[in-house]
């Protein structure tokens, strides 16, 4: 089963998803895509870590800001030969918006991305 939780910024999506995951399985894999680019984000990441630890639900955290697909495929392979399907850990990805932002920021800072943007701008009709 796959579940997508949506909502506004700081609307409680993570807390809801974590509580829901705890109802679905005995343990979880938390794939965190957030990166601490500033102090506010550092504090938010630390708060999320503390809340997961305090929840009593056993989370294995994987911090992966970019290679999400590869991480999920690795987890799928890891679980393929293991426990029965109903005993496999619940996988929670938090958050797809941050993952996309990470890619946007990365591409924005790459020299080739800047050259491509300039070429596109030159090719636009006036």
Q: Cβ(3)–Cβ(13) under 8 Å?
A: no
DSSP 42: H
* Closest CA relative to residue 98, chosen from 34, 32, 26: 34
Among 17, 31, 48, 90, the active-site one is: 48
**Are 83 and 29 in contact, with CB atoms under 8 Å apart?**
no
48 tagged catalytic: yes
Q: Among residues 32, 34, 8, which one has the least CA distance to residue 102?
A: 34
CA trace torsion 20, 22, 27, 30 (10° rounding): 50
Q: Which residues are catalytic?
A: 48
């Amino acid at each position: 089963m796959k579940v997508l939780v949506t909502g506004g910024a700081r609307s409680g999506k993570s807390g809801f998803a974590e509580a829901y995951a705890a109802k679905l399985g005995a343990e979880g894999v938390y794939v965190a895509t957030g990166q601490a680019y500033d102090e506010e984000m550092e504090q938010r990441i630390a708060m999320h870590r503390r809340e997961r630890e305090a929840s009593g639900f056993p989370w294995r955290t994987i911090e992966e800001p970019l290679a999400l697909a590869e991480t999920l495929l690795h987890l799928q392979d890891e679980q393929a030969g293991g426990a029965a399907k109903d005993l496999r850990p619940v996988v929670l990805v938090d958050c797809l918006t941050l993952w996309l932002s990470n890619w946007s920021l990365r591409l924005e800072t790459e020299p080739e991305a800047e050259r491509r943007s300039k070429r596109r701008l030159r090719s636009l009709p006036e």
